[in-house]
Structure 1
Amino acid sequence: MDAPNYTIELQTQKVRQRLNADQIKLWLPPYTDTADGKQGQGNIPEELCVKYSNDLNIPAADIREILEHLRQHALQKLAERDQFQKTGKAVLKIKATGLRENKERISQIETVEISLTSTGCDLRQMLAEKLGLPAHHLKMICRGQVVSMTKSLQEQNVKHGSQLMCLYLSVSEAEAAQKEEEVMQMMNTRQAAELLSSKVEKDDYDVDIQIADQSGRPLKLPPEERKALTLAMTMHEKGRVAIKKKEITKALLLLLEADKEFRKCGANILNAVDNYAVLCLDIVWCYLCLQNIEELPDADQRLRSSEDCFVRSYGANLERLAAVKGESGTQLALYMKLHLLQGIVAFHHHRITEANVLLRKAEEELKRLQIDENQLSQMMVMGFSEREGRLGLRATNGDMTKAIQHIIEKRKEKEEIEKKVKKERRQKKIQRDLGKTASGAKVDMSLYENLISMGYGRGAAAAALKQTNNDLNQALEVLQLHPELLNLPDPEKKSVDITDDMIAQVVGMGFDTIMASRALQLVKGDVQKAIEELIQKGGILPPTPEESSPSSSDSSPSEAGPSHRSSEEEDKAIKELVSDLPEDEEDYLDLTLQEEAQYLEEYLAKVNSVLSTNT
């Protein structure tokens, strides 16, 4: 937006505010010569133009032009409202964005008249005809939600006068198929994320996706909330990966899916983590990259949500974070991005003074976040990663010696947390193997380990605790009265990795590959025992429990879907899902801030231009 156009918008905003304050209704007499305000010529008094010119420091000719523009705009809105009341057809304003086949950027605003009982598919088709674009490559967003193709507009809170955003997902005929595949990949991503969250709920997973507080400690959550947060955070991470790849349209769709899941979580849970605040920042960042920051009213609200969360988590000046972690330099990057986006939104909402203050604050924070590239290079030569070096230098205000010590401490802290998490995960697996007590409760792992430390076998310890409902004294008495329990086998299921070499040895004796794998699983990887087992059973073994779970065997072919995949398919889906996710929990703080610096420079120039015009 160039300065002259913005100056006109700013002047119009000032005049509109003054009209509201003076309770002047331009669509009524004496300003419009018909009482109903539907038609008629304008009659703007000269004295009103002169008064506003003197009060607002705007030329009288410009005032008259602005007043007439606002009068006609009001009449148009009244006509549209009357039409909606009579015909039921709502007027929607839709801004399309994307790239055409010739790489030309789409920035087109269309007005559509449609019944709110129509589906999202109906609206998309109508819009596609207006834009001259293929309908199946359009995605529409209203009030921060992706418009569903199957539901009515009314069901999705689309109202008369709503503003929508339309994303065009392809740039040429050759790339159309690829973009379509990306949309399908997004759908599959959601299915795989749901599968992962289900496994998280059962603690049946090997993927290290942790839900932790600001100190990095895992949160103890009820299974359902843990499942919902895992799904939301996974979709968020996939969206952030897409942002890094500059796939902004795909990123925005993934982030809005994450937003939908986060909204299902309780406020007390969201207050304990900063994930939702970062998600809101990322969504508004996508709006900015798609040049739609001024078209979406929810950008302002999302940034307020981010700020509230950051203040609760870190303190207004990061003091709470410094007390918890001993440093605050890395999180300052989030505040810088927040203030930058708040300043840009304020600029587009014509709050120039506020925009100037926020952008100047972002400028100061950016200066504090700048690091010496020579120092970063030296740290990388020492064996530290670029991410570790950047975050370490920011955390210690550029002190290289302290940064190295900070990185070493962070590594140790991470190792301790990982050890604790692995131990808890292993104990949960053992607890499942042990089964339930007579009352249906889980075996108490601390009592189980106490009995083992006293010299009792694992089978005996488990049996005694199950019989006595986790009563240690009674369990000891049972073990003394029933020595036969001391001979019970170990109830813990030991997992063994079956290698291709093991399978090849068994197959080499003339057995089927699948049967060889089953036999090796049965005998915990002992090749000789596997061969003997197959010889005794005539080379045929039934499926293992992992191959034929109750959920899959009980379902009919018509019910088959993502939740009824085989174990191998599930593992493959999850691996594909997390293949490009960052391994470090502080990856979201590792911002180079290069693009942010460019936007900051651009909008500071715009603000300075407007301020100089007004002086």
Structure 2
Amino acid sequence: MEGEDAKVKVGGLWSGTIQVDLDKWTVSMLRDELGKKSNCSPDSLNVICAGRILKHELADTILRNVGFKCNSKILISKVAADQGKAINDELTTQTRLARIKAAVDAMTKRHTNDSFPVDQFSIELENQHGEKMSAVSETDQRAVMMGLMLHAKGRHFIEKGQYKEALEILSMGEEAFTLCNQKVLEMVDNVPLLQIDTVWCYFMLRDISCLSMAGRRLKEARKGLERCYGANMERARVLQGGFCPELAIFTRLELLEGIVAYHTELFKESHKALKSAQEKYNKLQVSDEALAQLVSMGYTEQQSRRALRMSDQNVQRAVEFAIEEKEKINKRIQEDRLRNKEIREQKSYGRTLMGKAVDMTILSRLASLGYEKALASEALRKNENDMQKALDDLTDPESNSVLQHSVDSRRRKRRKSFKEEDIAEILSMGFERSRVVKALSNSGTKEHAIDFLLRELPNQAGGSSGGSASEGSSVAKEDSQPDDTPGSQDQMQDDMGHPINGTSLEERDEEMEEEIAKSLTGDPLADYDIEVEEEGRAIVEYLTLLASSGHGQ
């Protein structure tokens, strides 16, 4: 269809008329033309039509779609250099926030609906007791997981001093939490912590206009923490073996309560909250002597400082805390290694027809009945993880034969795709050729084959290299599968070569997803173990203000 030519009248920095095609010209093309006419950079122009500024995000929009018609009038003006930079910075920020939201949404979907694993990590929810939250609905899991990831990313922005951006992310996290059942939210402490972080951003931006909202948020935060851990955080100490994880976060909470009370002229309440915050702040100050003692025992300065803070500066208790922390970290590392191995194994079995991963729990049950895992996984893959239907196929001779044929066919495909250089590389590590070929046949990729061979070493030589093998293989290569591995091309098509429904991979923002994953530390005390130097300065500032106004007693 031919576009409609139209005249547009221009005023302001340059006056005249220009001829445009309403159905072909975009806002960007209009900007370019106006830039030529006015001898200015297109990015330095403010373009206003019908009282609306045509912002940069409309660059690819057709003129008719933003309200242009024949004889439309526009006004152009030159944006100051710093204003133009501010506009571009705002656009960059909004684009980045949109990427974060989209990446979190994609990661949440993958980790809550049994999708085929594409990550080299897993995300699991735990309550305050460190127990996995597996008995909640998929909708609630997704809402909590999204809220947690956005909160973690928001805290990352806070640590970098980007408080405005942090507020945007925290707001998205709060919205995600509202989609969750209230009883589920009461099992975690992240909502009250998010409220405190939000008010902290208000304070660091010196946004006094948010005071009324800040007071409400702080009340909800205190109520939420007391619900999770008791009025005096006694349950938190029980969960942490008698240690004191709450001092730093309550220092910040009471400081903010004191600031809000000061600006609402509740000076007595302000003084009380600030003095309480100051008392906790002083308890968090680690002596050089105590710090040196723990560092001399082999702990890092960060580990030593945390241990002393959590143990109320008691060196002996701090050592106990550091030992317990090391044991917990080692246990978590071992659990992560086992989970990563399970993910790699799960990938090797491919997708179901609907694009789901093979259910490893059901697979283990079938294997315990004596069925070969490769055969049992093929039965589950074909039957969408329905155990009874899979059993029916495994016990029926004809169906079993078809399954075996599929398994053998896939193995032959993998075997044909082996590269001689991969075999040579693994042979150079000292393994026998027959074992290398067998490992590649069973595993499908070089990385998986090496892992398979290393796992066999303890049985072959009686050594203990299995642990290091897991460690090395768990970081071998993230999210990479050659086209000939199971779960890739041969799993994306049926036996006739037709595409399988539900297996197409969505385009992923891997850079942003990796950035978000790094902010998920897996450290249950990370939200409580915060630096409080800024809090210390603010406490002194507001106590001084109270004293100077005659309200310091």
Q: Please give the TM-score of this superposition, normalised by the length of structure 2.
A: 0.60
Change (3 A) 1:300 1:387: same
**Which sits farther off after the overlay, 394-403 or 308-317?**
394-403
Please name the residue that 1:389 is paired with: 304
Specify which of 240, 249, 254 is matched with residue 325 of structure 1. 240
Please name the residue that 1:184 is paired with: 95
2:250 pairs with 1:335: yes
Change (3 A) 1:285 1:504: farther
CA deviations over 1:117-169 (Å, ceiling 9, x no partner): xxxxx9xx99x9xxxxx9989xxxxxxxxxxxx9xxxxxxxxxxxxxxxxxxx
Please name the residue that 2:530 is paired with: 591
Distance 1:499 1:600 in 2: 66
Q: How do residues 523-602 of structure 1 correspond to structure 2 at under 5 angstroms?
A: 524-525=444-445, 546=488, 565-566=506-507, 569-579=508-518, 582=521, 584-602=523-541
2:349 pairs with 1:410: no
Please name the residue that 2:151 is paired with: 236
Please name the residue that 2:126 is paired with: 212
Aligned letter for 2:141? R
Distance 2:351 2:245 in 1: 45
Change (3 A) 1:406 1:231: same
2:547 pairs with 1:608: yes
Specify which of 391, 396, 400 is matched with residue 315 of structure 2. 400
Q: How do residues 473-484 of structure 1 correspond to structure 2 at under 5 angstroms?
A: 478=395
CA deviations over 1:440-487 (Å, ceiling 9, x no partner): x99886675466457553246568999997579x99x94999997997
CA contact (8 A) 2:120 2:343 kept: no
DSSP 3-state at the match of 2:549:
helix
CA deviations over 1:212-233 (Å, ceiling 9, x no partner): 2223333223222222222222
Q: Report % sequence identity.
A: 24
1:521 is displaced (CA, Å) by 11
Distance 1:594 1:500 in 2: 59
1:260 is displaced (CA, Å) by 1.5
Change (3 A) 1:574 1:526: closer
Q: Which has the larger radius of gyration?
A: 1
CA contact (8 A) 1:463 1:485 kept: no
Aligned letter for 1:261? A
Aligned letter for 2:127? D
DSSP 3-state at the match of 2:530:
coil
Please name the residue that 2:8 is paired with: none
1:283 is displaced (CA, Å) by 0.6
Distance 1:291 1:349 in 2: 15
Distance 1:564 1:186 in 2: 23
Distance 1:396 1:241 in 2: 26
1:191 is displaced (CA, Å) by 1.3
CA contact (8 A) 1:436 1:443 kept: yes
Please name the residue that 1:164 is paired with: none
Count of paired positions: 409
1:276 is displaced (CA, Å) by 1.0
Unaligned runs of 5+ in 2: 1-47, 58-65, 67-80, 426-439, 448-482
CA deviations over 1:507-561 (Å, ceiling 9, x no partner): xxxxxxxxxxxxx99982379xxxxxxxxxxxxx9998647969xx99xxxxxxx
1:308 is displaced (CA, Å) by 0.9
DSSP 3-state at the match of 1:589:
coil
Distance 2:161 2:90 in 1: 14
Distance 1:597 1:301 in 2: 23
CA deviations over 1:200-251 (Å, ceiling 9, x no partner): 1235333454422223333223222222222222221221111111111111
Aligned letter for 1:305? E
DSSP 3-state at the match of 1:587:
coil
DSSP 3-state at the match of 2:180:
coil
2:221 pairs with 1:288: no
Distance 1:195 1:370 in 2: 42
2:219 pairs with 1:304: yes
Distance 2:232 2:408 in 1: 55
Q: Please give the TM-score of this superposition, normalised by the length of structure 1.
A: 0.55
DSSP 3-state at the match of 1:306:
helix
**Which sits farther off after the overlay, 451-460 or 405-414?**
451-460
Distance 2:352 2:310 in 1: 48
Distance 1:196 1:436 in 2: 20
DSSP 3-state at the match of 2:527:
helix
Distance 1:425 1:253 in 2: 33
CA contact (8 A) 1:277 1:305 kept: yes
Unaligned runs of 5+ in 1: 1-121, 129-133, 138-149, 151-169, 506-519, 528-540, 555-562
Distance 2:201 2:190 in 1: 17
Change (3 A) 1:248 1:229: same
Please name the residue that 1:272 is paired with: 187
DSSP 3-state at the match of 1:354:
helix
Q: How do residues 256-267 of structure 1 correspond to structure 2 at under 5 angstroms?
A: 256-267=171-182
Change (3 A) 1:485 1:408: farther
Distance 1:542 1:431 in 2: 16
Q: How do residues 31-430 of structure 1 correspond to structure 2 at under 5 angstroms?
A: 177-203=88-114, 204=117, 205-220=119-134, 221-293=136-208, 295-380=210-295, 382-420=297-335, 423=338
Distance 1:249 1:479 in 2: 63
Distance 1:252 1:193 in 2: 16
Change (3 A) 1:250 1:484: closer
CA contact (8 A) 1:343 1:355 kept: yes
Change (3 A) 1:229 1:500: farther
CA contact (8 A) 1:460 1:479 kept: no
How big is the alpha-carbon RMSD for the aligned residues of Structure 1 and Structure 2? 5.0
Aligned letter for 1:198? K
1:316 is displaced (CA, Å) by 0.8
Aligned letter for 2:128? Q
CA deviations over 1:44-99 (Å, ceiling 9, x no partner): xxxxxxxxxxxxxxxxxxxxxxxxxxxxxxxxxxxxxxxxxxxxxxxxxxxxxxxx
Distance 2:176 2:399 in 1: 53
Distance 2:89 2:337 in 1: 40
**Which sits farther off after the overlay, 198-207 or 414-423?**
414-423
CA contact (8 A) 1:479 1:486 kept: no
CA contact (8 A) 1:225 1:265 kept: yes
Distance 1:492 1:398 in 2: 61
Distance 2:272 2:160 in 1: 32
1:301 is displaced (CA, Å) by 1.0
Please name the residue that 2:472 is paired with: none
Aligned letter for 1:211? L
CA deviations over 1:350-408 (Å, ceiling 9, x no partner): 11111122112112211222222343355345443443222211121112233233122
Change (3 A) 1:500 1:484: closer
CA contact (8 A) 2:254 2:277 kept: yes
Distance 1:470 1:313 in 2: 39
Distance 2:336 2:408 in 1: 24
Distance 1:446 1:544 in 2: 20
Please name the residue that 1:159 is paired with: none
Distance 1:177 1:469 in 2: 53
Distance 2:277 2:534 in 1: 13
